[in-house]
Amino acid sequence: MASSSANYSASSPSILPPSPGRHKTVSSHSVGQSRSPRIQSSPILLQPLPPTSSLTKESVYASELELDKQTRQLKQETQLAEALQDQLWSVERAAIRDAQGTWSKLQMQSQSNGKGKGRRDSWGESNGFNHPPQAYELYRAIDKHDIEFIMRIRDHAFDILLQKNGNEFPIVYASRLGENWRDIVILLVGALSRYVNHLEPEDFEKKETLRTLKALRANLKLAIDHTLLHLPPGQTPVLLSSYLQVLIMSEGDNFLHRAINDISLLLRSSSSSSSSSSSSSSSTTGTSFVQPVKEAEEIVRKFCTKELRGVKGGVGDVEEYIANAALDLIILSSWSLAATSLGLDNLPTHTFARDLRTYVTFAEALEVNASSLGRLNSRIRKLLNQLKDLAGDSRKSVRGRLRDIQDVIDKE
């Protein structure tokens, strides 16, 4: 048994446990030989990108959502701005009504005591509306000759008188209906005139008043042209001078002051050049003279529409009104020269183009200031005396008086 063990031990190879140091050396060497070369980092997507068509659809959808969002936001901002603007306009309109001691307060006064601007309202009182009237109601009232309803609109909803319904303004519509509606046309033009007459100078600087006056002038100009274009053969147009008068009145005192200043400059120029032109007339021909009267007439005639200016020979009552207005411009301008020299007040303008009222005021001013007029130069004194003698000659028509004044002023 022992021998067999010994044989086994001798024939078997000796297997020794490896030493720790040698095992370590071999392990590190074998690991170094098995490591793969270093690969550079390159990130990759775990999931593939969606196709381009899907991306396009998503972008379009997102854009539409954003557009809808911005549209809603813009709409809200617009509604808010409009609400704020309406509130602001309401405040401004209330301030205008409080400040306008003319039209709005006249309405309140006419309801309480029937007075407006110191005189009795010739149309009397009218009842207000429980609900705001509509334009079609006005046209229905015109058709039915409902004067009371039209007067209520005039007193409590004046702007409706200037609003177009369909293709026509109220005054043009009433004119088109024929001769039987002349009283309605007179009522409408009278309402426009009354509105203008009760405006104060400061009212012409307010935006709301200016918008109303712009619409008023459009109504009147269309009424003038309609009257001329649809006039039956053999008939004479009526109310044209009234239309023209309200047109000029709607310009306010600023227009008159500018016109008076321009004519005054021409009158002063003509007075200074009259002596020199007369001394050189024998040696010079074709001299151009200053013509204040002609210029005054042209200033007024500019308010006529193209159709009215194209009427051959003019329209009788229109030519009378133009002559009256031109004559009053000469009177007001001549007195302005004297008033500037003497430190006096100018003549009032509310009598402009109202028959002989401006001349009567002028004659009274001459009488009151007779002692001061001697200090004027001889040319202005002569001009004032000529106007006193010729402008008030009631034996002649206003066109005849204007021609007499033109003969002594424009042809000197």
Over the Cα atoms of the chain, what is R_g? 47
The half-sphere exposure of 378 on its side-chain side, counting CA atoms within 13 A, is 2
225 & 319 share domain: no
**Is 243 within a domain?**
yes
pLDDT tens readout for residues 141-199: 999 999 999 998 988 888 899 988 778 899 999 988 888 888 899 999 889 988 888 88
265 & 333 share domain: yes
DSSP per residue, 234-286? TPPP-SHHHHHHHHHHTTHHHHHHHHHHHHHHHHHHHHHHHHHHHHHTTT--S
Task: Give the pLDDT score at 85.
Answer: 66
Burial class (CB in 10 A: 0-12, 13-18, 19+), 106: buried
With a threshold of 0.75, does the pTM exceed it? Answer: no
163 & 299 share domain: no
173 & 225 share domain: yes
Task: Give the pLDDT score at 11.
Answer: 47
Q: Which domain holds residue 220?
A: 125-249
**Is 397 within a domain?**
yes
Task: Give the pLDDT score at 61.
Answer: 87
**Is 304 within a domain?**
yes
Task: Give the pLDDT score at 293.
Answer: 92
182 & 142 share domain: yes
Number of neighbouring beta carbons within 10 Å of residue 168? 15
Question: Which helix (H) or strand (E) is 115 found in, with range?
Answer: strand 115-116
206 & 225 share domain: yes
206 & 268 share domain: no
Domain count, the chain: 2
376 & 265 share domain: yes
The DSSP call for residue 346 is: P
**Is 95 within a domain?**
no
**Is 81 within a domain?**
no
**Is 97 within a domain?**
no
Task: Give the pLDDT score at 281.
Answer: 45
Task: Give the pLDDT score at 4.
Answer: 45
For residues 225, 227, 232, 236, the Cα torsion angle rounded to the nearest 10 degrees is -110
d(C-alpha 113, C-alpha 120), whole Å: 9
181 & 233 share domain: yes
131 & 204 share domain: yes
Would you write out the chain's pLDDT as a tens digit for each of its 412 residues?
444 444 444 444 444 555 554 444 444 445 455 566 676 677 776 777 788 888 888 888 888 888 888 888 888 887 777 677 666 655 655 555 555 444 445 544 544 544 433 333 334 467 777 788 888 899 999 999 999 999 989 888 888 999 887 788 999 999 888 888 888 999 998 899 888 888 887 888 888 888 999 999 999 888 888 888 876 666 667 788 888 888 888 888 888 899 999 999 998 887 555 545 544 444 444 445 778 999 999 999 888 887 787 776 667 788 888 999 999 999 999 999 999 988 888 898 888 888 888 999 999 999 998 888 888 888 889 999 999 999 888 888 889 999 999 998 887 6
268 & 236 share domain: no
257 & 402 share domain: yes
* Angle 322-324-325 from CA coordinates, rounded to 5°: 65
Residue type, 50: P
**Is 131 within a domain?**
yes
Tokens of 4: 């067999």
Task: Give the pLDDT score at 17.
Answer: 53
**Is 107 within a domain?**
no
